Structure 1
Amino acid sequence: MIVLEKGATSFHAMLDLTMMAFNSGIERTGKEWKTLLDSAGFDVINMWSHGGDADGIIEAMIKLQFSPSNIN
């Protein structure tokens, strides 16, 4: 789920608490998803969501890492 930075509904807050209580999970904002994916070695290409709806799609790809040994 991609939650709004500000103005998330009480329904989304309830889902966040439920996820935390049952499986140590949390809902994340777009910014939080970007930070998480960046730390895991991914670049976020695009994010799509329906405004107030928390369902969304995140397009990401593995970061390209260049080193002198990779260049022919």
Structure 2
Amino acid sequence: MIKGQRVYLRAIREDDIDRIARCFQNEEIMYMTGTRNIFTKEHIKEAIQRFKEDASRYDFAICSIDNDQVIGDYRDRLN
């Protein structure tokens, strides 16, 4: 876990699927992230599993320290 003053980063978990799916239903979030597709919970679950198996990829949930809610995500790749 990486912790700041207001947020912390942790590994994305399967119990984050509902929150992530809600983000993909929000037009403003989709516009801001450049997302063009609608993703089902099953698509998200499969993607999380693929990301875990990709050693060149790091995916994190951004969580609020105040309430432990997922408020975003961050990903990075090794070059």
TM-score (norm 2): 0.28
TM-score by length of 1: 0.29
Based on CA coordinates, which of the two structures has the bigger radius of gyration? 1
